[in-house]
Amino acid sequence: MSLLPIGVALCLLSCLGSGIVMGLATSKAVETVGRQPEASEKINSILLLGLALTESTAIYGFVTALIMMFTM
């Protein structure tokens, strides 16, 4: 029995985690802008940087899973 599907599933956990974290970060940013609308420019730039880094983690996990599926 191959352990490849388990390894692929573990790689794809980063995609799941990234989705959850991105949702939480966005909700907190919206909540903060609701409290302090004058700081929305700064919050928006910090949020976009954080979402980009989080999304790259999801992409790395997805690419690793694809490589594992098609080369092993």
Question: What's the 3-state SS for the chain?
Answer: CCCHHHHHHHHHHHHHHHHHHHHHHHHHHHHHHHHCHHHHHHHHHHHHHHHHHHHHHHHHHHHHHHHHHHHC
| 22 has a pLDDT exceeding 90 | yes
Give me the pLDDT at residue 1, please. Answer: 60
> pLDDT tens digits, residue range 26-50?
999 999 999 999 999 999 999 999 9
Pick the CATH number of 8-71 from 2.60.120.10, 3.40.50.150, 1.20.20.10, 3.20.20.70: 1.20.20.10
